[in-house]
């Protein structure tokens, strides 16, 4: 996604989304399709009533909506509206907008870190082909701002055909699973030197 959605200018919408349960619920709806409050509650580790509240809040700010009914139609189904989450701090952001963006980015990063830690903790349980295909990598690049923007777009275009919201189980090859790709491009800042230990560290 090369431009931000309208909700990124609404601090209330961003703060509403910056909640771990809501991020998990939205991820569930985005990757696996429509679900009831009871079904997403299990994923988020909350009660169905709490899930209903979070779903209504997500709907209030346009992240989810009612889905077509299934079966006898007695259960309320929810679905993601399908928009990507792309957030970036801009020079012209008002303080309230900037603070909301930073809070949302931090919440997304915490969820991403937890997902990566969970995958790493269970990698030895995976079949050999999945272990071999799993990568936790880090690269230092030497590029300018224009190249970094182009690289972001290139990576997004590369991943787009494989995104779960665009690739159904029927279209994907047999054995396909939900996989998470985490991409972060940012300038590197020098860390503050920790300093040398003092000679009198044992002094009383």
Q: Of 191, 180, 170, 183, give the one whose Cα is nearest residue 23.
A: 180
Task: Give the whole-angstrom CA distance, residue 170 versus residue 11.
Answer: 38
The predicted structure's pLDDT at residue 38: 96
Do 41 and 54 touch, CB atoms closer than 8 A? Answer: no
What does the domain layout of the chain look like in residue ranges? Answer: 6-136
What value does the CA radius of gyration of the chain take, rounded to a whole number of Å? 21
Show pLDDT as tens, one digit a residue, over the chain (204 residues): 333 456 778 899 999 999 999 999 999 999 888 999 999 999 999 999 999 999 999 999 999 999 998 877 788 999 999 767 778 888 888 999 999 999 999 999 999 999 999 999 999 999 999 999 999 999 999 999 999 999 999 999 999 999 988 888 899 999 999 999 999 899 999 888 776 666 555 555
Q: What is the DSSP letter of 35?
A: B
6-136 — its CATH code?
1.10.10.10
Distances in whole angstroms, Cα of residue 2 to Cα of each of 58, 88, 106, 133, 153: 23, 11, 20, 28, 7
Helix, strand, coil: what percent of the chain each, to 5?
A: 50, 5, 50
Give the largest Cα separation in the chain, rounded: 76
The predicted structure's pLDDT at residue 75: 87
Read off the pTM: 0.77
Do 101 and 8 touch, CB atoms closer than 8 A? Answer: yes
Task: Give the whole-angstrom CA distance, residue 144 versus residue 182.
Answer: 21
């Amino acid at each position: 996604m090369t431009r931000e959605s309208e909700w990124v200018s609404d601090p209330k919408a961003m703060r509403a989304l910056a909640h771990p349960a809501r991020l998990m619920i939205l991820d569930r709806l985005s990757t696996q399709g429509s679900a009831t409050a009871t079904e997403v509650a299990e994923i988020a580790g909350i009660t169905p009533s709490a899930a209903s509240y979070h779903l209504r809040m997500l709907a209030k700010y346009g992240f989810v909506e009612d889905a077509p009914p299934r079966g006898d139609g007695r259960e309320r189904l929810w679905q993601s509206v399908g928009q990507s989450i792309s957030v970036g701090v801009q020079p012209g952001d008002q303080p309230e907008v900037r603070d909301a963006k930073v809070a949302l980015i931090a919440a997304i990063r915490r969820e991403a870190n937890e997902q990566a830690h969970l995958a790493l903790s269970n990698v030895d349980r995976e079949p050999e082909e999945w272990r071999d295909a799993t990568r936790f990598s880090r690269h230092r690049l030497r590029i300018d701002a224009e190249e970094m923007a182009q690289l972001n777009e290139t990576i997004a275009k590369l991943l787009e055909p494989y995104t779960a919201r665009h690739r159904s189980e029927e279209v994907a090859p047999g054995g396909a699973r939900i996989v998470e790709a985490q991409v972060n491009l940012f300038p590197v800042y020098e860390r503050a030197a920790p300093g040398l230990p003092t000679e009198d560290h044992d002094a009383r």
